[in-house]
Homo-oligomer: A and B are copies of this chain.
Amino acid sequence: MSALVPVVQAFREGRRFLIAGHVDPDPDCIGSLLAVDWLLERLGKEAQPLSHDALLPQWQFFPRIDRIAHPTAGAPWSRETWDTLVVVDCELERTGSVALWADRVERVINIDHHVTNEGTGDINLIDPGAAATGELIYRVIRAAGVGLDASVATLLYAAIMSDTGSFRFSNTTAAAFEIAADLVRHGAEPDVIAGELYDTRSWEYVRLLGRVLETLQRSPDGSVAWITLTQEMIREEGARADESEGFIQYPRMIDGVEVALFFKETGPGEVRVGFRSKRRVDVSQLAQEFGGGGHPRAAGCTFRGTLDQAVEQIVARAVQLAGDPV
């Protein structure tokens, strides 16, 4: 807990804060960003939350979401002076154009739960044992002695719920459940937040899912299953290019499947490949063989070549690994 003290002290000492998360933000990033903004307001500070990339329409339910600005050069806030940059849920390098501000502030505070983060801020709170960055922000708020309200409880709950896959991933700890209990007591509504995060898919998303499931295939031994998505399918269904989030869970949920693959054509001769495994296979190594990386159970790579080539080469290698007897 001692790592909390310098962070709280820096929050108390600073006066004007920029706050940023990573490019291509997710709910843990957005919830953490806005919860820091909330805390700084409670502490009587000036703060400006920033996001390099646009926010998804279904995130409008996040309290305070309209406070997030794009780090455009020349925006009114950019002509002012800021003393502290708070980076949440990533390293400074992943904040996109916000990273340029690191040299223009007195110090950088980095708060993150990713194991790959080596802590390059002036003050760092890095804990891979935390279920989400939202859990770390919760601890900071508690350490600062600031009482919760329903808006920050909603932000932190959305962060933790989302990053634990609705309490289903291996980062779901007893501490995460205890914090969830406290957040519900302070006004977070699990069913409402789940509804906003999961029950706001577009018509095109569900149509596209149906199309993609038609492509479902598996290896003769059943240990590898995969789906494919072409640019043509996206066009025909009128979907957005990013509307295939979560599709990889379908080959993964099949009994007997050890490795699930999702091949998505992202351009001519370019295929984005998602990898998931259940128990034995380290898919981060598999993804590395094709120039990508990630975690043992979830990884990705970008393949240069046609969709057919990607399927042929990567499935063959996945079957070798998944079919191995233990």
A: residues with CB less than 8 A from B are 58, 161, 165-170, 172-175, 177-178, 180-182, 184-185, 190-191, 194-195, 198-203, 205-207, 209-210, 212-214, 216, 218, 222, 225, 250-255, 278
Q: How far is the CA of A254 from the CA of B201 in the complex (A)?
A: 5
B191 touches A184 (CB 8 A): no
Identify the closest chain B residue to A197 (Cβ).
B168
B199 touches A206 (CB 8 A): no
Given contacts A206-B213, A213-B213, A254-B206, contact A177 B174 (CB under 8 A): no
B166 touches A199 (CB 8 A): no
Identify the closest chain B residue to A255 (Cβ).
B200
Closest chain B CB from A305 CB (angstroms): 26
Chain B residues near A206: list those with CB within 8 A.
Answer: 213, 216, 250-251, 253-254
Q: How far is the CA of A200 from the CA of B200 in the complex (A)?
A: 26
Q: How far is the CA of A168 from the CA of B177 in the complex (A)?
A: 13
Q: How far is the CA of A170 from the CA of B166 in the complex (A)?
A: 14
Chain B residues near A58: list those with CB within 8 A.
Answer: 255
B191 touches A181 (CB 8 A): no
Identify the closest chain B residue to A215 (Cβ).
B210
Residue in B190, B195, B202, B216 whose CB lies within 8 Å of A254? B202
Closest chain B CB from A297 CB (angstroms): 9
Given contacts A166-B167, A206-B216, A213-B210, contact A184 B177 (CB under 8 A): yes
Residue in B181, B199, B207 whose CB lies within 8 Å of A181? B181
Identify the closest chain B residue to A186 (Cβ).
B174
B166 touches A184 (CB 8 A): no
Chain B residues near A181: list those with CB within 8 A.
Answer: 174-175, 177-178, 181
Closest chain B CB from A12 CB (angstroms): 30
A184 touches B202 (CB 8 A): no
B184 touches A172 (CB 8 A): yes
Q: How far is the CA of A206 from the CA of B200 in the complex (A)?
A: 22
Identify the closest chain B residue to A188 (Cβ).
B174
Which of A206, A207, A255 has the largest count of B CB atoms less than 10 A from its CB? A206
Q: How far is the CA of A278 from the CA of B198 in the complex (A)?
A: 12
Identify the closest chain B residue to A194 (Cβ).
B168
Chain B residues near A174: list those with CB within 8 A.
Answer: 181-182, 184-185
Q: How far is the CA of A182 from the CA of B169 in the complex (A)?
A: 18
B168 touches A253 (CB 8 A): no
Q: A167-B167, A174-B182 are known contacts; what are 11 more A-B pairs with Cβ within 8 Å?
A: A161-B167, A167-B190, A168-B190, A168-B191, A169-B190, A173-B184, A177-B177, A181-B181, A198-B253, A199-B278, A206-B216
What are 21 pairs between A and B in contact, CB < 8 Å?
A: A166-B167, A167-B167, A167-B180, A168-B198, A172-B184, A174-B181, A175-B181, A177-B178, A199-B252, A199-B278, A201-B253, A201-B254, A202-B255, A203-B218, A205-B254, A206-B213, A206-B251, A207-B216, A209-B213, A210-B212, A210-B216
